[in-house]
Homo-oligomer: A and B are copies of this chain.
Amino acid sequence: MRLTRAGEYAVRCVLYLAKQGRGVLVSRKEIAAQADIPGQFLAKIAQQLARQGIIEILQGASGGYRLLLAPERITLLEVVETVIGEIFLNDCVGRPESCPNSTVCAVHRVWCRTQQQLRNSLDQVTFADLASEELGTPPTPGACCAENPPPPEKDLPGPA
């Protein structure tokens, strides 16, 4: 139930490229070193990103990768799903046949709805947002998790 390493690497890669600016050629070696990604692994991820049209790969000596699209047009969802496939919270959502009664199943509907919500959220964040936020604004102290505690624990009466 979490992002895979490949997904994380893809995000790092695109973010690094976004920071350099669209169209700027960067060697795989540099990205791997700077973003802390195993070189060969990055190669495979990059190929997926290229197939998706997000980056362009230049071969040959002094080859490398560069961002093909404007960072404003690349969303977090896009990059993540390019690498890990469409996000499914539950098998039954992705493969209806795995759940014979999915049309009747109330739980099924909840998963569908929640999943869409999640995907929409990720689809609203662009790499322009991410890059600028990271270059400019300082940490925005406490804008993160600490301020968004998990839903309050239900006050269970405790095991009888």
Q: Assign chain A's interface to a size class.
A: 35 or more
Q: Which residue of chain B lies nearest to A125 when distances are taken between CB atoms in the complex?
A: B110
Q: Decide yes or no whether A145 CB sits under 8 A from chain B.
A: yes
A68 touches B119 (CB 8 A): no
Complex copy number for this chain = 2
Q: Decide yes or no whether A26 CB sits under 8 A from chain B.
A: no
B69, B78, B110: which contacts A122 (Cβ < 8 A)?
B110
A160 touches B120 (CB 8 A): no
Q: Determine the distance from Cα of A145 to Cα of B11 in the docked complex, in whole angstroms.
A: 27
Q: Determine the distance from Cα of A52 to Cα of B156 in the docked complex, in whole angstroms.
A: 8
Q: Decide yes or no whether A60 CB sits under 8 A from chain B.
A: no
Q: Give 25 pairs: A residue, B residue, CB < 8 Å, sorted on A.
A: A1-B1, A1-B88, A1-B89, A2-B88, A2-B89, A2-B90, A3-B111, A15-B107, A51-B159, A52-B159, A53-B156, A53-B158, A56-B159, A68-B160, A69-B157, A86-B150, A93-B145, A102-B144, A103-B139, A103-B144, A104-B134, A107-B130, A114-B118, A117-B117, A119-B150
